[in-house]
Amino acid sequence: MLLKDKTILVTGAARGIGAATARLCHEAGADVLLHAGRKSDASGQAAQAVGQSADDFIYQDLLQPGAGFKLFETVLRRAHRIDGVINNAGMFTPSPLSGAMEAWTDGWAQTLAVNVQAPADICRAAITHFRDRNEGGTIVNLASRAGHRGDGVENAAYAASKGAVLAMTKTWARGLARENILLYAIAPGWVETRMAPQDIADRKAAEAEIPLGRVAKPEEVGAMIVFLLSGASPSATGATFDINGASYVR
């Protein structure tokens, strides 16, 4: 089992990529700690898939200042030792160039709080923990294809936030590799989650730009994450793995 005896934190684990990744980590032998912003039917289903209940989730709203640090403090009280962190939680809020200024300001503030500040704080807390243990550890940060190529003109905050995730992952990977603290980024394109286009015309347009002919499944992203957490290829630290059906090839 690839992750036997490892304890892994998965943020945003109630649905989509997070839920699929948590289940695959569990199947690979890991003890999985699940995070979500709030309790829901989805969190109950995700917990059941890894032999837990909705009450086993750690609920923390990452929009709140300091939420990433509070989350990690709770995690350590529960597990005492963390071997890997998956920063999957994120949000997509438009930052429109047209329309009310309030939507612009709120879009940037909320996006940066959840997609940049919270995972950065979680990374800092995890790195401190790894250093205290002096045994290393692994962090996988979920970015996006948008962090490389940009996004729609109304979605600059989202693209910028994911570009920031890529930059901080590379920075810490370069600086911490000698301490056996490894960081990787995943940059998916469209994935079969709530963020994928639901309108028929939009869905056809999205699939038309994907040479593979379909959006990715959450389990495809999860499988890559399990591999990275396994320690099978430490020399890949700092790398970004594109999962987009060849819709954006670097």
Residues serving a catalytic function are 158
Quote the CA–CA distance of 70 and 130 in Å, as a whole number: 17
Distance of CA 173 to the CA centre of its chain: 16
Quote the CA–CA distance of 228 and 132 in Å, as a whole number: 22
Quote the CA–CA distance of 50 and 23 in Å, as a whole number: 6
Both tokens of 54, joined, read 């909705």
Which DSSP letter does residue 60 get?
Answer: -
**Residue 150 Cα distances to 144, 188, 245, 248, angstroms:** 9, 13, 17, 11
φ and ψ at residue 139, rounded to 5 degrees: -125, 130
